[in-house]
Amino acid sequence: MKEYYRLTKPGMVYGNAMTALAAFVFAAGVAVSFPLLVATILGLSLSIAGACVVNNVMDRDIDVHMKRTQGRAIPNGRIPVRGALIFGAVLIVIGLGSLYFFTNLLTFLITLLGVFAYIALYTPAKRLTVHSTIIGAAAGAVPPVVGYVAVMNVLNETAVLLFIILVCWQMTHFFAIAIFRLEDYRNAKLPVMPVSMGILPTKVLMFVHAVLFAVAVYALYLVNTLGLIYTIPMTILTIGWVSIAGAGFFVQNDARWARKTFFYSLILLVGFSLAIALS
């Protein structure tokens, strides 16, 4: 059972659930409906978990070439492909079903689109094109939109800004991973940006997306007239984010800098989630 649990990529599920929960509370304010909250987070989490299981099945031939993933259960035969696919499908059906019956149609459709983008677009695209990262970032930016739309039942400028913020965060976050795990991606022959285009162009894109993240964070403040609970921590965290991204142009050890950027990105995501939830 533990092996099946690991197939769901729990870290990814919990991180996405956190941003969805924060956006839900942000939208609801003091009028939080706990049944709706439970249905939203549970349905979304199960859908993401199922998509991750299917992703593991599709990536099994890649995983054997990467140190980080070569110990996974499917490529090592500890879990059969058929069993994993059934498990993933059941999770997706239960998750999407929960959203369909207990939230609203828009929330269901957005989650369905995110699951489709992750499985049918991002997973095969990462073998073929350097541009797969933006597809994955778009799929990964769905959870806060789901949390927000579950309450508001509308796609407005705030929902769009939440999406943009998460896309920009993920681009810098993933490129950092791609740099400090560069050999893994080379061994797997995956055309990620540092492999295909080099580290310097990757650093430029990381910095550009860090700046765009800052702009979108400020735009969210303007659109929603958020208070100091949002403004002060996000100003500090965003300055740090842009600074650490910019520092990449002056470092000698790219892997060490990328790893630090990765860990800071996790702090930033938690800080952003808390800031919008408490604002």
Residue-level pLDDT at 242: 98
Residue that is last in its domain, among 118, 153, 188: 153
Q: What mean pLDDT comes out for the span 247-263?
A: 97
Number of domains in the chain: 2
What's the pLDDT tens digit per position in 57-80?
A: 998 888 777 777 777 878 877 889
Residue-level pLDDT at 52: 97
Domain that residue 212 falls in: 156-279
Are both 160 and 171 inside the same structural domain?
yes
Whether residue 214 is predicted with pLDDT greater than 80 in this model: the reply is yes
Are both 99 and 205 inside the same structural domain?
no
Query: Within 13 Å of residue 221, how many CA atoms lie on the same side as its CB?
Result: 17
Residue that is last in its domain, among 102, 123, 153: 153
Are both 103 and 201 inside the same structural domain?
no
pLDDT band at 248 (very low <50, low <70, confident <90, very high): very high
- Residue 78's alpha-carbon distances to 4, 90, 192, in angstroms, are 10, 20, 29
Cβ proximity of 58 and 75 under 8 Å: no
Taking alpha carbons only, the member of 266, 263, 174, 272 closest to residue 230 is: 272
Residue-level pLDDT at 195: 94
What's the pLDDT tens digit per position in 34-63?
A: 999 999 999 999 999 999 999 999 988 887
Residue-level pLDDT at 107: 99
